[in-house]
Chain A
Amino acid sequence: MSSQSAISQDSAPGLPNGSAAAILSAGIGSFTLALLTIVADQSATVKSMLSIYKPTGALSGVTTFAMLAWIVVWAILDWRWRGRNPSLKRINVIAFALLALSLLATFPPLGDLL
Chain B
Amino acid sequence: MEITTRSLWTLVHGMGFGALYLLACSGAIVLLFLRSATNEHSTPKGDRVLGIYLTVMAAVAWLTVLSGTYIIYPWYRAAPPAGAAHLTAFPRSLLLSNPATKQWHLIGMEWKEHVAWLVPIAVTMAAFIAIKYARDLKHSPPLRTALYGFVATSLFAAGVAGFFGAMLDKNAPVDGGQTIRLVQGE
Query: Shortest distance in angstroms between A74's beta carbon and chain B's nearest beta carbon?
Result: 9
Q: A19 and B132 in contact (CB under 8 A), knowing A59-B113, A102-B118? A: yes
**Which residue of A is nearest B122, CB measured?**
A26
Taken together as a complex, chains A and B put the C-alpha atoms of A8 and B153 apart, in Å, by: 28
Any chain A CB within 8 A of the CB of B163? no
Cβ of B99 under 8 Å from chain A: no
Size range of the interface on A?
35 or more
Looking at the complex, which one of B70, B124, B139 makes contact with A12 (CB distance below 8 Å)?
Answer: B139
> Which one, B78, B113, B125, B157, contacts A23 given CB within 8 A?
B125
Query: Contact mask B113-141 → A, CB, 8 Å, 1/0?
Result: 11101100110110011001100100110
Nearest-Cβ distance from residue B136 to partner chain A, whole angstroms: 5
Question: Residues of A contacting B140 with CB < 8 Å?
Answer: 10-12, 15, 88
Q: Which residue of B lies closest to A29 (CB)?
A: B121
Mark A77-114 against chain B: 1 for CB-CB distance below 8 A, else 0: 00000000000110110011001001100111100000
Which chain B residues in 81-125 approach chain A with CB under 8 Å?
106-107, 110-111, 113-115, 117-118, 121-122, 124-125
Kindly list chain B residues whose C-beta atoms are within 8 Å of the C-beta of A99.
118, 122, 149-150, 153
Question: How many residues belonging to B are interface residues under a CB distance threshold of 8 Å?
Answer: 36
Chain B residues with Cβ below 8 Å from A11 are 136, 139-140, 142-143
Is B177 part of the contact surface with A, judged by Cβ < 8 Å?
A: no
Q: Does the CB pair B136–A15 fall under 8 Å?
A: yes
In the complex formed, the residue of A with least CB distance to B153 is A99
Chain B residues contacting A62 (CB-CB under 8 Å) are 114
Determine if B132 and A56 form an interchain contact, defined as CB atoms under 8 angstroms apart.
no
Q: A56-B73, A59-B113, A108-B107 are in contact. Are A33 and B139 (CB under 8 A)?
A: no
- Chain A hits for B136, CB < 8 A: 11-12, 15-16, 19
**Contacts A23-B146, A88-B140 known; A70 to B121 CB distance under 8 Å?**
yes
Q: A12 vs B149: C-alpha distance in the bound complex, in angstroms?
A: 19
Instruction: Determine the distance from Cα of A102 to Cα of B124 in the docked complex, in whole angstroms.
Output: 17
Query: In the bound complex, do residue B122 and residue A30 qualify as a contact, i.e. CB atoms below 8 Å apart?
Result: yes
Contacts of A96 in B (CB 8 A): 149
Q: Could you give 18 example pairs across A and B, Cβ below 8 Å?
A: A11-B142, A16-B136, A19-B133, A22-B129, A23-B125, A23-B150, A26-B122, A26-B125, A33-B121, A59-B69, A59-B114, A66-B117, A89-B142, A92-B142, A99-B118, A99-B149, A108-B107, A109-B107
